[in-house]
Structure 1
C-alpha cells in the first residue's frame, strides 16, 4: 500500500540526487529512506531508482511516476494547510456587519490582510449600527463595526464586547459657498436656524445629538430631508440646501463641503469593533486586532 512518506521520499531523491541528502532534507535516517523506496518499488513492481557513481538517480519509469505524483502532493499539502487554518481560526467563512461610510475605509485593507495570513474567507454585510447589533445577537454575523455617541452609548450592554477603533468630535458639514461657511465656529442658536439632513433611523447617533441640542434650546429640528444616502447628503450640503452633523472621517473631499466646529462642542462619535461576549472563533479576534491597526494609520491620515 502506498503512503505519502514513500512519495515524498521519491521526490526528495529526484531533487537531491542522493539518499543521504534526501534523508537530511526530510529529517529521516538513510535506512528509513531506503526502506520507503524499496516498499514503493515492491508495490509498483518496477524499479524507480538506480545507484550511480555520483549518487542516486530516478529511472525513466521513476521520473515518469514522480512527475505524475508531484502535483498530487502539492494539492494535498495545500488542502492540509487550509484545513489547519480553518481548524485554528474556528470558521471557514467569517461574516462581518459594518456601516458603509467608514467601514469602506477600514474593511477592505483588514480583510485583505486577514485572508492573506489565514485560511479564512470574509463576507461583509452592510447595515447601520442597530441592524448590525441585531444580526450579531441573532447569530447572523460573527462581529461588526458600529458607531455610537461616546457620552450617550446605546450599545453598552452586558451581552456585547466593544473594542474602540477610534473616536472623533462631531462637527457640522456645511456647503463651501453657503452662509454658514463664513462662520469660524457655530453657536447653538445657529444650529436651530439651520435646515438639517437627518437619517431615516430614529436611533442614528447624529440625530440623537441634534435632538438633544434642540431640546435644550426649546426648539424643533428643521428637517430638509431624511436620507441615509451619503452621496445625496453630500450633494445637498454642497448646494447649500441644508447641513449635516458628522465627523471628519466619512467626509468626501470631492464635494464642495467644509466642516465647522461649534462653540461649546457636541461630543464625539466612537467607532468600535463589536462582538458578543463568550466563546467565539479565533478569526474574530484576529480581525479585531487588524482593524485596530488599520484604523490607527488610515483614520489618522484622514483626520489630520
Structure 2
C-alpha cells in the first residue's frame, strides 16, 4: 500500500523543485524528504524523481504519482468539508476568484445561486490563478474563477489533470491612451504602431504578455511603471505617463482623460473560465457554474466584453 505521507512529500518536492525547499515547507530535514522519496520508489518499483545539480524533476512515473497525491489530498479535504457541513446543518461553498472577474461576474451569479439554493453559505477568496488552482487541487476551495492568456492555465489542465475547465468568456485586452494622444481617435491599432510609446501596466502578467506580442512585432517596449491595480494604471495614463494594456472588463469604472482602443488581430486576450475538481461537482457547485455561465452570457450580450 502506498503511504499517504510519502505522496505528500513528493507533492512538495514537485512544487518546490528541490529536496531542501520541500523539507523547509514540510518542516522536515532534507534527509527525511530523501528517505520518503526513496521509500516511495521502492514500493512502486520505479523512479519518481530525477536528481541533478540543477534540482529535481519528476519522471513520467513521478508525474502520475503527483496527480494521485493531489487527488488524495483533495478527497481528504472534501471529506472534511462534508463532515463540517453535517455539523453546521447548512451547505457550504468556497470560491476563489481573481479581482476583475469576480467584480464583473460574481454579484449576478451569486444572486442566482441564492435564489435557487437559499441555504447555501458562500465563502469567497480573492486569488490569482497561479494561487487559486493549487488551492482547488488541495481541496481548500470548491471552484476557482480564473483566466489564462495564450498558453495553458497554471496547474497544467489536460486529460490527465484532476481539474476540469468550463470556459465563460473571452476578455480582449485594449490599448489605453491619453485622450489627447494622436492615435486616440482610431477605432483599431496594430501593436507595431506603438513601438515608440512608453508603457505603464496594471499587472505583472500583462507585462510579460505585452513583451511577447512586442517581440513578434519587432520591438522592445519601454515600461516606465508597473502596478497591481488597473485603475491606478489608467490614472497614470490620464496623467500622461504613458499608455497601457488593460483587459476590457477592467475598463470600469470609466475614467476621464483616457480612451481605450481595440488591437488588430492577433488580439491579446484573456480567456476566463471556472475550474473544478473532476467528478466532484455537488449541487451547489453545479448551480454556481450554471449561474456564472448565465451571467457571462448576459455580460457578453450587453457588449461589456
Structure 1 length normalisation: TM-score? 0.63
- Determine which structure has more spread, i.e. the larger CA radius of gyration: 1
1:173–1:246: 8 Å Cα contact kept in structure 2? yes
The equivalent residue for 1:135 is 135
Identify if the C-alpha distance between structure 1 residues 98 and 169 changes in structure 2 by more than 3 Å, giving closer, same or farther.
same
| C-alpha separation in 2, matches of 1:268 and 1:142 | 26
Q: 1:285 aligns to what?
A: 286
Correspondence 1:258 to 2:242 = no
2:223 aligned partner: 223
Aligned partner of 1:92 in structure 2 is 91
The question of whether the paired residues in 2 share the 8 Å contact of 1:173 and 1:237 is answered with yes
Mapped partners of 1:200, 1:249: distance in 2: 14
Matched, 1:162 2:165: yes
The Cα shift of 1:103 comes to 1.2
| Separation of aligned partners in 2, 1:235 and 1:103 | 22
Equivalent residue, structure 1, for 2:122: 122
- Aligned residue-pair number: 214
Counterpart contact for 2:200–2:244, Cα < 8 Å: yes
Q: Unmatched 5+ residue regions in structure 1?
A: 1-85
SS in 2 for 1:97: strand
Equivalent residue of 2:180, what SS?
coil
Structure 2 equivalent of residue 273 of structure 1: 274
What corresponds to 1:64 in structure 2? none
Which ranges of structure 2 fall in alignment gaps of 5 or more residues?
1-84
Q: Is the 8 A contact 2:192 2:214 kept in 1?
A: no
Q: TM-score, normalised by structure 2?
A: 0.63
Question: Cα distance, 1:302 vs. partner?
Answer: 4.2
Helix, strand or coil: the match of 1:141?
Answer: coil
Q: Deviations over 1:147-193 (max 9, x none)?
A: 112x4233451232111111133321222223331444323333322
In 1, Cα distance between equivalents of 2:183 and 2:136:
40
Report Cα offsets for 1:26-72 as digits up to 9, x if no partner. xxxxxxxxxxxxxxxxxxxxxxxxxxxxxxxxxxxxxxxxxxxxxxx
Q: Superposition pairs for residues 23-102 of structure 1, below 5 Å? A: 92-102=91-101
Contact 1:178 1:240 in 2 (8 A): no
